[in-house]
Amino acid sequence: MTKAESAILEARDPEAYIAASLKARISPAAKAHLARLWMEKTGYTKEAILHARNRHPYWKKEKMEGSAERTRVRLDAHDYSSGGVVEWNAARIAKFLNLNGKDPSGRYEHRDWEIAATFSTSIPSIQYMRRKLRRAAEMLGPRATRERLVEYLGFAESVLVKGKQAVEGLKDTRAKAEKAAAPKKVAPKKVAPKKAAPKKAAPKKAAAKRTPTKKPVARRTPK
């Protein structure tokens, strides 16, 4: 076993393992074999090695080089907006919350590009909504209701940055403006019920004239 290989196996923690691995001039296959031996010896996991690797300055630099170009390619590949803009109304925000859940490990159940495809929008638009959701959740606390989150996500990020008091103030202003703009309902005029016209008395029928009865003339007896 070479000195470089021994240094890898004798590393005390993942950070030291990564440093020794970078110095070693051995093949990738040999490094993979040594990694298995080192994990068996120390009890560290593959995830611990990857975590230390991502934090190491060398691998950070490697990762950053070309990241801007990779990001641009990714954004272009997953732009489903076709130049349009999504109106994030209450119904869409509620659907976004349904798709934005996390699994027990804390990872998003759906990738940002998957949600972007669902709403015919872009990755930056979904990332914007996720930032707003984190900020709203921090302001409202663990007892935040779903309705309150939907309400807060309806405000711009610039408003949420100012804090809960600013959001509530703007909410009241909006409510007053909407109330003032709403057409006033005109109460129907009460129409007094029409009085029934008095019934006209039927004309009295003229009483039939009685023909006077002639008294019989008494006959005179001749003397």
Calpha distance 60→70 (Å, rounded): 15
Q: Is residue 16 part of a domain?
A: yes
Mean pLDDT by 10 residues, the chain (223 residues): 87 91 86 90 90 84 74 90 90 96 92 96 95 94 93 93 88 81 72 66 61 59 56
Residue 91 and residue 47 in one domain: no
- Residue 24's pLDDT is 86
Q: Is residue 204 part of a domain?
A: no
Calpha distance 78→72 (Å, rounded): 10
Residue 171 and residue 85 in one domain: yes
Widest Cα–Cα separation across the chain: 197
Taking alpha carbons only, the member of 122, 22, 33, 35 closest to residue 77 is: 122
Q: Is residue 198 part of a domain?
A: no
- Residue 202's pLDDT is 62
- Residue 72's pLDDT is 87
- Residue 137's pLDDT is 94
Residue 46 and residue 110 in one domain: no
- pTM of the predicted protein model: 0.54
Name the region of 109 (left: φ>0; alpha: ψ -120 to 50; beta: rest): alpha
The domain in which residue 12 lies consists of: 3-64
CB-based contact 18:56 (threshold 8 Å): yes
- Residue 110's pLDDT is 95
- Residue 222's pLDDT is 58
